[in-house]
């Protein structure tokens, strides 16, 4: 049967109509072979336009359609749907862009018309070679893996788990709660963070459809959206999670004392320990690098002390395999180490702390049970905050350090009403609706804010710390008891490893790179893998929670139990007869979507993994690889139209 | 008409450069009408054959634009093109076709101005070289 092509040129009101002689094009193409009809329309994307298009397809019995209008980025989907509704496979429609890439960039009407004509002819050439493509759907696994149990990961987990969906929450640390659980009060409500987070943590640990794997890390991920297979290393805890009731009888007898990383080195912990009082799950862990017994020495103090026989020195790492449909990475961030700026005295002088160390001093479950004390056990009379530590080095503003410092200034004035507080800043970042008020209140409470040039220098004179600074071009100094450095936020140390494992990109700053920085800040370029919280970039609790919810929402709307997942239809395919089995395509594929069929000695494309970039097609030496909807023949036909 | 002989076929990747070209339109920037567009999903889809075919069909220049290195929607397609086009240019030179007739560059989705700049530059380059007379080769 002869092909019947309908060509529709949209005037887009005056946008195209005034810049291109649409009638000339319509007249010219009407006589081309296989063109059944060519017409113009004032606004094809309008309700009237869509109705017109549908009736044309039916009335003219069209087998193919060309639409010359705006960029396909605007309404291609709409026109495809109209074709489908009129009984035409949507891949038998070709759009060509005569607005953004012609009418709007070509002031001369004759030249614009000539260019548009070549575009329309190219589309007619191409559409004749286009093939119908049927939708492809796959069965999915609705379970989800969340990596990182901080505020973002917890929000995602709870959102996903609401209706009984299985969620695996993996955290590399022995407890969940992330950085947030280590703060006493958080801005902007000055709420007690452990009180705020405890119900969420309890919920996670108690919900039957949430499996929490702490002290665990992901080791391998294969598969694609809908069907990932994940290997998780559950590190030996040496304490049975079933037998332990969390009484803590094992801590005291342990003879080992080492610096507690969860208190930022401000306290000591035993080799068998809980990160901090109230950490959940309330099951200690034995640090195998420091435990005497596990290093081969004589000791079983904890084993003897445990009334429930929960200690198990024979425990081993376990590799757990889970099948999930999607993955959310919420691996968080850490603070920039100020040691790399020697002039600030961090690590050199006592009482020079990072913001997070002061958080721990302020925390009732911290090293001093919430008392703000100097190394000598006395209360400080004066404290200097230095802002923007690491901003220059990292090359970005972390956006939260000003606020956590302002918050700490508040809390310090409440706890130590006479303490003098000096805040040295170059720029203040107070972006949200409550932040300015909090800053104003800190000023009202007597905290001093001094704008300096960012060249603060900390030295020790006698027992005191001296901060030298420059303000209004004058060098000044102030003597204080304590210096707090508002360190920048940087990606967690696990970020790079996880990115490699999943083969997803990092941005210039080392955070996970978004699918789109503005429109899809919770997606990654790998479909089915989402990011939430400060692993995407520094952010406060509210933003992290919002992102966790957004990522979960994306999954809930697409990964529906019992329903299938629609795949990218424009994938690559390999002609068995032409494939020489050279494996060029396999080495080039960025998604590992091609593999070798050893029996047939040819390459095979996995439709679920292929994203349709066509890189393999361009490289195939025998022409066996073919890109659906972007075949060589189709592109050659288009070239023929535009090159003349 | 002079322009007729000096067509430039541009292969634009769907995600960055095609959008960049749209942005040039949104900003009503001007570039000559002999810059013609073929959309591909990724610059990595651009087979050297496409370039040769464009010349055979009468183009005097070929522009291949992709996402900036590191920004490829498909992770690394643009790097593959980079290598391929480098090789192609050397081959073309061997056949007496000036390598400047083929330009591979990067235009991000937001870079309307950059698209217009690259398009204008390419037109100037090709105008200097004149039409490609394949029969002489």
Task: Assess whether pLDDT exceeds 80 at residue A516.
Answer: no
CATH C-level class of A138-235+319-332+494-564: alpha beta
pLDDT tens-place string over residues A185-232: 998 888 889 889 999 999 999 999 999 999 999 999 988 899 999 999
CB contact under 8 A, B70 and A108: no
Of B9, B34, B76, the CB nearest to A639: B9
pLDDT, mean of residues B96-103: 96
Largest CA distance in chain A: 98
Does residue B136 belong to any structural domain of this protein? no
Q: Which residues of B touch A643 (CB under 8 A)?
A: 7, 9, 36, 54, 57-59
> Nearest chain B Cα to A630, which residue?
B40
**How high is the pLDDT of residue A188?**
84
**How high is the pLDDT of residue A510?**
95
CATH number belonging to the domain at A5-133, selected among 3.40.50, 3.30.1360, 3.30.9, 3.90.1200: 3.40.50
Does residue B135 belong to any structural domain of this protein? no
Per domain, the residue ranges of chain A are: 5-133, 138-235+319-332+494-564, 236-316, 334-490, 567-628
Q: What percent of chain A has pLDDT over 90?
A: 90
Chain B nearest C-alpha distance from A42 (Å): 20
Cβ-proximal residues to A630 (8 Å cutoff; 6+ apart), any chain: A570, A612, A614, A617, B40, B41, B45
Task: Assess whether pLDDT exceeds 70 at residue A137.
Answer: yes
Do A138-235+319-332+494-564 and A5-133 have the same topology in CATH?
Answer: no
Count of structural domains, chain B = 1
Task: Assess whether pLDDT exceeds 80 at residue A124.
Answer: yes
> Nearest chain A Cα to B13, which residue?
A613
Residues A554/A174, Cβ–Cβ less than 8 Å: no
CA separation for the pair A357, A179 (Å, rounded): 12
**How high is the pLDDT of residue A591?**
81
Largest CA distance in chain B: 42
pLDDT tens-place string over residues A139-177: 999 999 999 999 999 999 999 999 999 999 999 999 999
pLDDT tens-place string over residues B39-65: 999 999 999 999 999 999 999 999 999
Does residue B137 belong to any structural domain of this protein? no
Question: Predicted confidence band at B74 (pLDDT cuts at 50, 70, 90)?
Answer: confident
Listed range (A221-230, A315-324, A477-486, A542-551) with the worst mean pLDDT = A221-230
**How high is the pLDDT of residue B111?**
93
Q: Which residues of B touch A612 (CB under 8 A)?
A: 41
pTM of the model: 0.78
Does residue B25 belong to any structural domain of this protein? yes
Of B22, B36, B39, the CB nearest to A118: B36
* CA angle (A639 as vertex; B41, B47 as ends), nearest 5: 50
**Three-class SS state of A477:** strand
> Nearest chain B Cα to A99, which residue?
B25
Residue B34 domain boundaries: 2-129
Terminal-to-terminal C-alpha distance of chain A:
30
- List the CATH number of the domain containing B6: 3.40.50.960
Query: Within an 8 Å CB–CB cutoff, is residue B136 touching chain A?
Result: no
Average pLDDT score, chain A: 95
Q: What percent of chain A has pLDDT over 70?
A: 100
pLDDT tens-place string over residues A256-310: 999 999 999 999 999 999 998 889 999 999 999 999 999 999 999 999 999 999 9
Task: Assess whether pLDDT exceeds 50 at residue A247.
Answer: yes
**DSSP strand pairing (A572-574 vs A625-627):** antiparallel
CATH topology of domain A334-490: FAD/NAD(P)-binding domain (3.50.50)
> Nearest chain B Cα to A611, which residue?
B74
**How high is the pLDDT of residue B5?**
66
Q: Which residues of A touch B22 (CB under 8 A)?
A: 71, 73, 97, 100-101
**How high is the pLDDT of residue A544?**
97
Question: Predicted confidence band at A555 (pLDDT cuts at 50, 70, 90)?
Answer: very high
What does the CA dihedral A250, A253, A257, A260 come to, rounded to 10 degrees? 30
Chain B nearest C-alpha distance from A641 (Å): 9
CATH topology of domain A567-628: Alpha-Beta Plaits (3.30.70)
CB contact under 8 A, A505 and B30: no
Query: Within an 8 Å CB–CB cutoff, is residue B113 touching chain A?
Result: no
Residues 17-36 of B with CB under 8 A from A: 18-19, 21-22, 24-26, 28-34, 36
Query: Within an 8 Å CB–CB cutoff, is residue B3 touching chain A?
Result: yes
- At A638, list the tokens: 């288009």
**How high is the pLDDT of residue B3?**
45
CB contact under 8 A, A503 and B75: yes
CA separation for the pair A366, A81 (Å, rounded): 60
In this prediction the ipTM stands at 0.96
CATH topology of domain A236-316: Alpha-Beta Plaits (3.30.70)
């Amino acid at each position: 049967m002869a092909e019947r092509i309908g060509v529709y040129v949209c005037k887009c009101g005056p946008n195209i109509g005034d810049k291109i002689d649409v009638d000339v094009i319509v007249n010219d193409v009407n006589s081309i072979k296989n063109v059944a009809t060519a017409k113009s329309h004032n606004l094809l994307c309008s309700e009237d336009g869509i109705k017109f298009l549908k009736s044309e397809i039916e009335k003219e019995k069209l087998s193919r359609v060309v639409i010359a209008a705006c960029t396909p980025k605007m309404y291609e989907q709409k026109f495809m749907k109209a074709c489908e509704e009129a009984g035409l496979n949507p891949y038998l429609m070709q759009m060509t862009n005569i607005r953004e890439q012609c009418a709007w960039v070509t002031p001369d009407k004759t030249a614009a018309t000539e260019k548009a004509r070549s575009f329309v002819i190219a589309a007619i050439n191409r559409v004749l070679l286009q093939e119908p493509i049927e939708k492809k759907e796959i069965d999915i696994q609705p379970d989800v893996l969340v990596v990182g149990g901080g505020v973002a990961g917890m929000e995602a987990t709870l959102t996903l788990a609401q209706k009984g969906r299985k969620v695996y929450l993996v955290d590399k640390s022995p407890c969940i709660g992330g950085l947030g659980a280590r703060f006493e009060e958080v801005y902007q409500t000055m709420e007690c963070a452990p009180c705020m987070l405890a119900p969420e943590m309890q919920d996670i640990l108690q919900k039957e459809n949430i499996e929490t794997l702490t002290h665990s890390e992901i080791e391998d991920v294969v598969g694609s959206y809908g069907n990932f297979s994940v290997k998780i290393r559950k590190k030996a805890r040496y304490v049975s999670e079933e037998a332990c009731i969390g009484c803590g009888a094992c801590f005291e007898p342990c003879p080992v004392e080492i610096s507690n990383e969860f208190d930022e080195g401000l306290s000591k912990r035993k080799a068998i320990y809980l990160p901090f009082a109230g950490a959940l799950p309330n099951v200690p862990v034995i640090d195998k690098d420091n435990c005497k017994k596990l290093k081969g020495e004589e000791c079983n103090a904890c084993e003897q002390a445990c009334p429930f026989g929960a200690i198990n020195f024979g425990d081993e790492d376990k590799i757990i395999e889970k099948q999930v449909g999607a993955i959310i990475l919420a691996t968080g961030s850490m603070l920039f180490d100020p040691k790399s700026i020697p002039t600030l005295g961090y690590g050199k002088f006592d009482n020079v702390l990072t913001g997070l160390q002061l958080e721990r001093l302020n925390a009732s479950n911290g090293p001093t049970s919430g008392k703000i004390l100097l190394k000598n056990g006395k209360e400080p009379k004066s404290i200097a905050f230095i802002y923007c530590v690491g901003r220059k080095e990292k090359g970005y503003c972390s956006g939260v350090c000003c606020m956590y410092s302002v918050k700490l200034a508040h809390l310090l004035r409440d706890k130590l009403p006479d303490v003098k507080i000096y805040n040295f800043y170059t720029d203040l970042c107070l972006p949200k609706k409550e932040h300015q008020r909090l800053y104003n209140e800190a000023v009202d409470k007597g905290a001093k804010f001094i704008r300096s040039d960012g060249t603060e220098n900390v030295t020790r004179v006698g027992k005191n710390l001296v901060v030298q600074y420059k303000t209004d071009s004058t060098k000044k100094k102030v003597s204080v008891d304590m210096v707090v450095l508002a360190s920048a936020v940087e990606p967690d140390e696990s970020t790079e490893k996880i990115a490699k494992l999943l083969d997803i990109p990092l941005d210039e700053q080392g955070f996970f790179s978004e699918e789109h920085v503005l429109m899809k800040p919770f997606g990654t370029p790998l479909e089915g893998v989402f990011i939430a919280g400060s692993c995407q970039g520094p952010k406060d609790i509210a933003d992290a929670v919002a992102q966790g919810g957004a990522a979960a929402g994306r999954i809930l709307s697409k990964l529906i139990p019992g329903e299938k997942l629609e795949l990218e239809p424009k994938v690559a395919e390999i002609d068995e007869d032409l494939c020489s089995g050279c494996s060029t395509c396999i080495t080039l594929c960025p998604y590992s979507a091609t593999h070798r069929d050893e029996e047939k000695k040819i390459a095979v494309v996995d439709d679920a993994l292929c994203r349709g970039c066509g890189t393999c097609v361009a490289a195939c030496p025998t022409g066996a690889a073919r890109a659906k909807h972007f075949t060589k023949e189709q592109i050659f036909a288009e070239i023929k139209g535009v090159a003349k | 008409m002079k322009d007729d002989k000096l067509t430039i076929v541009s292969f634009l990747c769907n995600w960055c450069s095609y959008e960049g070209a749209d942005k040039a339109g949104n900003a009503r920037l001007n570039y000559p009408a002999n810059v013609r567009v073929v959309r591909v999903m990724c610059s990595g889809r651009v087979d050297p054959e496409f370039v040769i075919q464009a010349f055979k069909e009468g183009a005097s220049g070929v522009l291949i634009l992709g996402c900036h290195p590191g920004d490829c929607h498909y992770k690394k397609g643009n790097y593959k093109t980079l290598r391929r086009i480098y090789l192609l240019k050397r081959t073309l030179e061997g056949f007496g076709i000036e390598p400047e007739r083929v330009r591979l560059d990067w235009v991000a989705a937001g870079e309307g101005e950059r698209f217009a700049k690259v398009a204008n530059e390419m037109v100037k380059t090709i105008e200097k070289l004149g039409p490609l007379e394949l029969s002489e080769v």
